[in-house]
Every structure is written in C-alpha cells, then in structure tokens.
C-alpha cells in the first residue's frame, strides 16, 4: 500500500485528512510563524460541524465571536491579511447582527485554503522537515 507520507503529496486535502500529516504540516507552519492559517482553517470546519449538529445557539454565537476576534478583527494578523475586505465585513455583520449561519465562514475558509494550496503547501513538500520525514 502507498505510505501515508506519499499520499500527503497528492493534495492538501489528503494531507489534512491524516493526523500525522496535519501534525507535521502544523510544525512546519509554526516554524514559519503562520500556524494560525491552519488553525483558522480547522476552526472554520469545526464551526460548520457544530452548526450542522444543531443545538446550543449561545455556544455557536460565542464561537463565531471567538473566531472573529482571534483571527479576523486585527487587520494585520496573518489570517486577516489573506482574507478579502468584503469577506471580512460579511463575517463582521453576521457577528454584530447575531445572524449566525453554517456557511458564514465558508468564503473565508476558501480564501485561506487557496493561499495554503498555492504557497505554503508546495513549500512544505520541498521542506527539510518533510524530506527528513520521508
């Protein structure tokens, strides 16, 4: 069977679908001071999961606010710099108007994902960290 680390090189999704792959990629991003990009990507997925599971509205609002404050509010943060102004104001509006919906972070997640796919992921595949692992 194909070893997991070769699958990681197939696509960003195959990497992020594997626990060890995700861990190694996060270690790499941490070295580059941009682990927040990956944390944000997972936070968006977690938010959607929580939304889909129904239940506690207060918790969803609290989480949406937490994500907004930690990653988006500060325009100079690494995540915020990669997200379009229109996308940021859409999320801000959702939080301010307490209009929480499952897809409210989807566009921002897509923009961060595109950035990971075009930049950090290819660099990771050429990094010493990945090469040593393989």
Give the binding site for other proteins (CB under 8 A): 16-19, 21-22, 39, 42-47, 49-50, 59, 62-63, 65-67, 69-70
Beta carbon of residue 106, minimum distance to other proteins (angstroms, whole number):
14
The smaller minimum CB distance to other proteins, of residues 120 and 128, is found at 120
Query: What is residue 70's DSSP assignment?
Result: I
The smaller minimum CB distance to other proteins, of residues 58 and 128, is found at 58
Phi then psi dihedrals of residue 88, to 5 deg: -65, -40
The smaller minimum CB distance to other proteins, of residues 44 and 78, is found at 44
Spatial separation of the C-alpha atoms in residues 101 and 44, rounded to whole Å: 12
Beta carbon of residue 23, minimum distance to other proteins (angstroms, whole number):
9
Beta carbon of residue 129, minimum distance to other proteins (angstroms, whole number):
19
Spatial separation of the C-alpha atoms in residues 134 and 130, rounded to whole Å: 6
How far lies 93's CA from each of 39, 53, 66, 85, 86, in Å?
Answer: 22, 23, 14, 12, 11
The smaller minimum CB distance to other proteins, of residues 2 and 19, is found at 19
């Amino acid at each position: 069977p194909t070893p997991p680390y070769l699958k990681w090189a197939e696509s960003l999704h195959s990497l992020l679908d594997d626990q060890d792959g995700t861990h190694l990629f996060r270690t790499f991003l941490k070295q580059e001071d941009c682990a927040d990009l990956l944390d944000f990507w997972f936070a968006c997925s977690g938010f959607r999961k929580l939304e889909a599971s129904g239940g506690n509205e207060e918790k969803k609002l609290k989480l949406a606010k937490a994500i907004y404050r930690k990653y988006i509010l500060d325009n100079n943060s690494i995540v915020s710099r990669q997200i379009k102004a229109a996308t940021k104001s859409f999320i801000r509006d959702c939080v301010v108007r307490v209009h929480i919906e499952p897809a409210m972070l989807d566009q921002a997640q897509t923009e961060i994902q595109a950035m990971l796919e075009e930049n950090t992921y290819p660099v990771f595949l050429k990094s010493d960290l990945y090469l040593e692992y393989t």
